[in-house]
Amino acid sequence: MIRNDIKQLSAYHIPDARGLIKLNAMENPYPLPDTLRDEWVRHLHNLNINRYPDTKMDALRHAIADGEGLRADQVLLGNGSDEIIQLALIAVDRGACVIPRPTFVMYEIISRWLKRPVASVPLEKDFSLNADAFLRVCAREKAGIAFLACPNNPTGNMWPRSTIQQISDNFRGLLMIDEAYHPFANDTYTDMIDPHVMILRTFSKLGMAGLRLGYALGHPDTIGELNKVRLPYNINTLGQASVNFFLKHFHVFDEQTKKICRERDRLVGILENMAHVDPYPSRTNFILLRVPNAGFIFEALKQNGILVKNLHAEGDLLENCLRVTIGIPEENDQFVATLKEVIGETDK
Ligand SMILES: Cc1ncc(COP(=O)(O)O)c(C=O)c1O
């Protein structure tokens, strides 16, 4: 009954973070200010959840489009950007999905669900992307679609405009430029949007991960085609109304984002000073760091109440790498103190 290739899969594992300082999932660590929370709950009070949600979501799409200087028909909304990745992989012509390695895992996972072959192009040692090599693989594999996370997860770096431009100029499939970490990178490739280039964004990293709202910005024709494979009520009434409300209070999330970026830079400075730890520069809300023994350190951090992500099993460029999401200052201090203790570390 169940496809054999599905039987071979394991379900996506989300570790239990109860009771731990949660620095593993690139969430915004700041809760809503109390007054905003109260106002939000009042705003939700009159919603009619006996009715199906608004399927067109004009108000929300207009609000997002206005913020980008685009038109509402250039915006597609998804239940997290994960869903838009899935919509694109459903809608695009046959042909491989080409991705860099390492990158965000869902591109490959969803491709496999949909029986789309995946070809990956290894990043260089410094996590740079060779555009010629990427394009060669796209041509060889007759790629239908390619994903470039800018900045990239889990490496944290942003490939330069010239690299992305070269790929977008020469790739004839659908190029999905995933800007999930755009709020922390202060840069965007939205100017490259055309019928075969789309930008992916999410509200998850900004402080609304629990609402599950992602969006694509693209050419109206491509957005229109992807919209045909979107489930009619993919964004529930509470999610729509909440994001609509929070967009009017965007400065709150903006300020939190600035605090996170300041903390990130402070943390990189501290980690750089440690003799046995190598942090990589980050344009995101997380830091990738190489340590002497990732498995041991991951477990020791967990025993001491701190959950990060261990990437060692991915091998290659991620050997002995951990990824730590930026928390509030007290959490970051505790992470550093515990890391120093478990490594037996002195400053450089
Ligand atoms: C590069 C990248 N894209 C997309 C996502 C998924 O975000 P969402 O919560 O909108 O599904 C993530 C989440 O970690 C990510 O790192």
> If you measure from the C-alpha of residue 153 to the centroid of ligand 1, how many angstroms do you get, rounded to a whole number?
9
Q: What is the pLDDT of residue 69?
A: 96
> If you measure from the C-alpha of residue 50 to the centroid of ligand 1, how many angstroms do you get, rounded to a whole number?
30
Unique residue bearing structure tokens 């199906």? 52
Collapsing DSSP to helix, strand or coil, 93 comes out as: coil
C-alpha closest to that of 36 among 25, 28, 44: 44
Q: What is the pLDDT of residue 219?
A: 98
Q: Is 214 in the pocket of ligand 1 (CB under 6 A)?
A: yes
Average pLDDT across the chain, whole number: 96
C-alpha closest to that of 291 among 305, 266, 308, 303: 308
Q: Whose CA is nearest to atom 2 of ligand 1?
A: 180
Q: Is 206 in the pocket of ligand 1 (CB under 6 A)?
A: no
Unique residue bearing structure tokens 């950007």? 81
Mean pLDDT throughout 48-70?
A: 96
Q: What is the pLDDT of residue 348?
A: 62
Residues 180-205 as b or e (16 or more Cβ within 10 Å = b): bbbbbbeeebbebbeebbbbbbbbbb
Q: Is 239 in the pocket of ligand 1 (CB under 6 A)?
A: no
What is d(CA 81, CA 64) in angstroms, rounded to the nearest whole number?
A: 14
Say if residue 151's pLDDT is above 70.
yes
What is d(CA 219, CA 70) in angstroms, rounded to the nearest whole number?
A: 10
Where residue 345 falls among pLDDT bands split at 50, 70, 90?
A: confident
Mean pLDDT throughout 143-168?
A: 98
Handedness of CA 57, 63, 64, 66 (dihedral sign): positive
Mean pLDDT throughout 315-342?
A: 97
> If you measure from the C-alpha of residue 204 to the centroid of ligand 1, how many angstroms do you get, rounded to a whole number?
7
Mutate to test the pocket of ligand 1, among 12, 14, 82, 157 (most ligand atoms within 8 A of CB): 82
Say if residue 120's pLDDT is above 80.
yes
Q: Is 82 in the pocket of ligand 1 (CB under 6 A)?
A: yes
Task: Kindly state the helix (H) or strand (E) to which residue 290 belongs, with its residue range.
Answer: strand 286-290
Cis check: omega of the bond before 102, within 30 degrees of 0 = yes
> If you measure from the C-alpha of residue 140 to the centroid of ligand 1, how many angstroms do you get, rounded to a whole number?
28
Q: Is 184 in the pocket of ligand 1 (CB under 6 A)?
A: no
Unique residue bearing structure tokens 């999410």? 202
What is d(CA 137, CA 97) in angstroms, rounded to the nearest whole number?
A: 10
Q: What is the pLDDT of residues 226-281, one digit of tens each?
A: 999 999 999 999 999 999 999 999 999 999 999 999 999 999 999 999 999 999 99
Q: Is 211 in the pocket of ligand 1 (CB under 6 A)?
A: no
The one-letter code for the residue type at 247 is L
Residues 62-83 as b or e (16 or more Cβ within 10 Å = b): ebbbeebebebbbbbbbbbbbb
Facing residues of 289 across strands?
Answer: 279, 322
Facing residues of 200 across strands?
Answer: 178, 216
* HEC string for 247-280: HCCHHHHHHHHHHHHHHHHHHHHHHHCECCCEEC
> Exposed, middle or buried by CB within 10 Å (0-12, 13-18, 19+), for 38?
exposed
Q: Is 204 in the pocket of ligand 1 (CB under 6 A)?
A: yes
Helix 58-68 vs helix 237-247: angle between axes, to the nearest 10 degrees? 30
What is d(CA 40, CA 23) in angstroms, rounded to the nearest whole number?
A: 26
Do the bridges between strand 309-310 and strand 118-122 make them parallel or antiparallel, or are there none, so unpaired? unpaired
Radius of gyration of the chain (CA): 21
User: Cα dihedral angle (24, 28, 34, 38), rounded to 10 degrees?
Assistant: -100
> If you measure from the C-alpha of residue 341 to the centroid of ligand 1, how many angstroms do you get, rounded to a whole number?
32
Residue 326 tokens, joined: 């930026």
Say if residue 347's pLDDT is above 70.
no
What is d(CA 293, CA 303) in angstroms, rounded to the nearest whole number?
A: 16
> If you measure from the C-alpha of residue 82 to the centroid of ligand 1, how many angstroms do you get, rounded to a whole number?
6
What is d(CA 277, CA 294) in angstroms, rounded to the nearest whole number?
A: 11
Task: Kindly state the helix (H) or strand (E) to which residue 148 belongs, with its residue range.
Answer: strand 145-149
Residue 279 tokens, joined: 């942090």
> If you measure from the C-alpha of residue 203 to the centroid of ligand 1, how many angstroms do you get, rounded to a whole number?
9
- Over pLDDT 70: what percentage of the chain? 99
Q: Is 202 in the pocket of ligand 1 (CB under 6 A)?
A: yes
**Residue 29 CB contacts under 8 Å (≥ 6 apart), including other chains:** 260, 325, 326, 327, 328, 331
Mean pLDDT throughout 84-96?
A: 97
Unique residue bearing structure tokens 């009070």? 45
